Chain A
Amino acid sequence: MSPSVRLQEMIRVIRGARTQGEERGVIQRECAAIRAQFRQADNGTRSHNLAKLLYVHMLGYPAHFGQMECVRLIASPRYNEKRVGYLGAMMLLDEKQDASLLITNSIKNDLSHNSQYVQSLALCTLACMGSAEMCRDLAPEIDRLLRASNSYIKKKAALCAVHIVRKVPDLGELFTPAARSLLCEKNHGVLHGAVVLITELCERNPDTLEQFLWKNAPVVPELVQIMKGLVMSGYSPEHNVAGISDPFLQVRILRLLRILGRNNDTASDAMNDLLAQVATNTDSSKTAGSAVLYETVLTVMDIKSESGLRVLAVNILGRFLLNNDRNIRYISMTSLQKIVQTDHNAVQRHRGTIVDCLKDQDASVKRRALELSLALVSAVNIRSLMKELLLFLSSCPPELRAHTTSGIFNAAERYAPSQRWHIDTILHVLTTAGGDVRDETVPNLIQLITTATELHCYTVHKLYRALITDISVQSLVQVACWCIGEYGDLLLRGECEETEPVQVTEDDVLDALETVLQSHMSSPATRGFALTATMKLSTRITHNVDRIRSIVSIYGSCIDVELQQRAVEYNALFKKYDHMRYRGSVCGAPSVIEAKLPECKSPVPSSGLSHTVPGPATSTSGGDLLDLLGGLDVSPAPPSVKVYEKNGVTLKLQTDSQTDTGMTITLTATNSTDGDITSLTLQAAVPKVCFGLPGCLCILYSTLVSDEMGCPDWCFSTQVQPCFQNSWDSL
């Protein structure tokens, strides 16, 4: 019985096992037998036992006890045992195992063996799992083999040298001369090895790169010659792959040329003709040709090539984009991604095809197409490209959604042709994929809407429509509630220029808000928005104030503490400060004093503020206002504003300093009456736009002493912290 049948027999038995347990049993028996055999003296079956053990190892079972056997077999004089021994070493040993050091000596001896096949075993093992120490020990041997041996060994020695250089880069200098001389060989295997070695040496050490470029007989012309020979040669049966002569070697040479020409004009010039030739003559109908073309394109893009060549390269990539083979489309998009920054216009020409790839079935292709599309967005194509992106968003795989939405928002922010378009786009995204947007989207959108003053009517109508359709998307609902709260009067007016106005009654609007409040889909933050919006509407509607009052009071006993607090305080507004509700700016038009939201790019224009100045005037009583906001101005040198002058009491407000997080306001109160004025109550309301909450209410009690007595006016400053504070902190 031939020995190898024993191995095959074992494999058959193992495969015949019907359950995992049975298999384990068989394997345990076999391993026990193998272990016993290993312990015995040499009986000629060692190699087969090791082979069996390797099979068992491949199935996933432990095989440590075979390591020493590998070492023994490698040292054996017989070829069959060496062969399996080296295979075992590559599979069971790696440089972290101690046993690997033991084979260094055997490898050294085998490197000088008179049979080239034994030498080849040693070289292969060294290149696969040689540790740094082994490499250092054996490097001189490898160098010797590089110079004086037949081509079979030379090619292997070259690749072994590559491994050594990767492990111990300092040894690169040792191999440089030999590597150079190998380029004169005719044998393709040796040439290939030499090119790989030179590539590795140049990549690691810029000095070596210089050497190869200038000294040592410049390498570039020689490579160009070899390459030309390959491209122009006729059919060579030995190396031909689908019409290309030795594509592996061609690709490696191109890669080496890339490294040599990277920062070097002269070298790049020398290659230009060749690259043009390869680009035009290579047939790309099969993968081999495409691989060579691809490498050519990568090289052209990386070196200092002339512009005509670059255009040629981009066109090749464009052709790849139209290829039926999905793989080729994928790699072409990968390369286009790399060059989209530098050759933007060239890539723009292929935008149509790239956008078509968004509809591909394959998720990897889709992802590449998405990234490339986002990189291609510019002011010129924003409208058409955004249409495609929005279409893509509606059908894109879930793992790409977050990326798509943030990409769309970035693009819209940079290139929006008009505010209306911008708002429309964001709303579209929120309706399609509102669950995958970032948290800052809501405040950003609110900011955007506020600044787009002429679009308030349009926006509120649109948002109202969206709200009554679907209240599951939290971000959309929050923005809609805020908008209705702010511009509810425009909604109720029922007329709009830009869009079909919705004819609603106050009850309808309140119904919508109440639905949001009561729905189990609404998050606590959303409920907060809705409650505040309801409250704000109390100044904008005329008939249903009682309804609002009842809604608000219900939530006074809500479980959610935040809601409860708000409801209680709104209730207080109704009861105790009803007169303030109109006059104060608690429920009045918003002022966007604080301009620094986390993502906010532009400061709030003062036009937004000037909008608020007539704001209080539109609420029911104009006259005597303690309207803090009407007096404030965000312009650089705010004048002192007299906000109250009546009965001898004068109040002046001055904005002293405004920082990103705070604003100092100085109130100067003057009493020019005869008596003291007691129980002076000052309430300053600063609505906060970012969260749509009514702002800080600071209640200051003071006694304003009569001027007559020569007491100084009361002057005090208050720090208004606009952002990130709970709505009802007293200052």
Chain B
Amino acid sequence: MCQPIKKYLTASLPNAHPLHTYGSVRKRVKCSFIYTYIHIGSESTIKIKMQFMLLFSRQGKLRLQKWYVPLSDKERKKISRDLVQTILARKPKMCSFLEWRDLKIVYKRYASLYFCCAVEDQDNELITLEIIHRYVELLDKYFGSVCELDIIFNFEKAYFILDEFLLGGEAQETSKKNVLKAIEQADLLQEEAEAPRSVLEEIGLT
């Protein structure tokens, strides 16, 4: 009974690659597409929880990309392109979860932006949806009614906020207030660091 199911699944994933390399510590560095499993010598297959997060517009332009697995630029571009196309092809009422090349993709659309996370197989997709929602709330609080333009023109700030909320693909702080407070402090520090320089510039002493 398993036979036809497996056959079907691999047939429907056009770029399914065999993934197993048993033996000593090895990393799949050369694969051109998804790099999902890192075999660490023992029998178990350890999976990274969140592999990457992408934000893109309805026209398919990337607004933010955070990668938690080492992949070359070329590979990243290919993955982004394919995934973006797959998600944009989905209809509005469809499920927020899809299986794509051995990964689970959790995505949600907020206004004109798609927020998309790729998680490994064992994860709880619903909590990933909550993570996405929390990030949107943080952006909203920080920018005040955030819209896509805010993220375009202040992309580095969007990254800073993400880095205060997620670390290595895991949530680091579960309290909204604390995250925003930390960002505020960091921003203050940044302003202080910049300020003396611009004063000096104004005077003309560089």
Contact = CB atoms under 8 A, between A and B. Distances in A.
Interface stretch (A101-109, A245-253, A605-613, A661-669): A245-253
Interface in B106-142: 124-127, 129-131, 133-134
Given A87-B156, A331-B97, A364-B94, A58 B127 contact: no
B29 interface: yes
Given A83-B186, A83-B190, A163-B168, A188 B175 contact: yes
A96 B4 CA distance: 39
B174 A162 contact: no
Contact of B65 (A8, A12, A58, A196): A58
A328 B124 CA distance: 11
B70 A95 contact: yes
A238 B175 contact: yes
Interface in A277-309: 287-288, 290-291, 294-295, 298
Interface in B163-206: 163-164, 167-168, 170-178, 182, 185-186, 189-190, 192-194, 197-198, 201, 206
Nearest to A86: B163
A374 interface: yes
Contacts of A131: 70
B153 A54 contact: no
Contacts of A8: 153
B4 A87 contact: no
A374 B1 contact: yes
B40 interface: yes
Interface string A324-342: 0011101100000000000
Interface stretch (A121-129, A549-557, A625-633, A702-710): A121-129
Contacts of A375: 1
A12 B39 CA distance: 45
Contact of A78 (B163, B193, B206): B193
A291 B72 contact: no
Given A60-B77, A94-B71, A124-B163, A364 B168 contact: no
A96 B29 contact: yes
B202 to A, nearest CB: 11
A239 B174 contact: yes
B38 interface: yes
A87 B159 contact: yes
Interface residues on A, range: 35 or more
B38 A291 contact: no
Nearest to A247: B130
A54 to B, nearest CB: 7
A331 B12 CA distance: 21
B87 interface: no
A476 interface: no
Nearest to B200: A44
Interface in B34-68: 38, 40-41, 44, 46, 48, 61-68
Contact of B189 (A3, A117, A399): A117
Contact of B95 (A3, A44, A54, A330): A330
Contacts, number: 193
B94 A326 contact: yes
Contacts of A58: 62-65, 155
Contacts of B173: 155, 188-189, 192
A584 B21 CA distance: 60
Contacts of B198: 2-3, 44
Interface string A170-209: 0000000000000000001100110010000001100000
Given A203-B46, A326-B95, A403-B4, A159 B130 contact: no
B152 interface: yes
B127 A166 contact: no
Contact of B97 (A43, A129, A327): A327
Contact of B129 (A59, A80, A189, A327): A327
Given A330-B97, A410-B1, A80 B193 contact: yes
B20 interface: no
Interface string B83-114: 00000000001111111000000000000000
A700 B75 CA distance: 68
B129 A287 contact: yes
A439 to B, nearest CB: 13
A155 B46 contact: no
Given A159-B172, A166-B48, A204-B46, A11 B153 contact: yes
A2 B189 CA distance: 16
A59 B130 CA distance: 28
Contacts of A96: 29, 70, 72
A410 B175 contact: no
A79 B126 contact: no
Nearest to A407: B4
Contacts of B193: 78-81
B160 interface: yes
Given A8-B153, A58-B155, A80 B194 contact: yes
6 contacts: A94-B72, A241-B130, A248-B171, A364-B98, A402-B4, A402-B8
Interface of A: 2-3, 8, 11-12, 15, 43-44, 51, 54-55, 58-60, 62, 78-81, 83-84, 87, 90, 94-96, 115, 117, 120, 123-124, 127-129, 131, 152, 155-156, 159-160, 162-163, 166, 169, 188-189, 192-193, 196, 203-204, 238-239, 241, 246-249, 251, 255, 287-288, 290-291, 294-295, 298, 326-328, 330-331, 361-365, 371, 374-375, 399, 402-403, 406-407, 410
Interface of B: 1, 4-5, 8, 11-12, 29, 38, 40-41, 44, 46, 48, 61-68, 70-73, 77, 93-99, 124-127, 129-131, 133-134, 152-153, 155-156, 159-160, 163-164, 167-168, 170-178, 182, 185-186, 189-190, 192-194, 197-198, 201, 206
The 7 tightest CB contacts between A and B, nearest first, are A127-B168, A291-B126, A406-B4, A403-B8, A80-B193, A79-B193, A159-B167
Given A54-B156, A90-B66, A152-B182, 16 more contacts: A3-B198, A43-B206, A44-B198, A44-B206, A79-B189, A79-B190, A79-B192, A83-B160, A94-B72, A169-B46, A188-B173, A188-B174, A248-B174, A249-B174, A294-B126, A406-B8
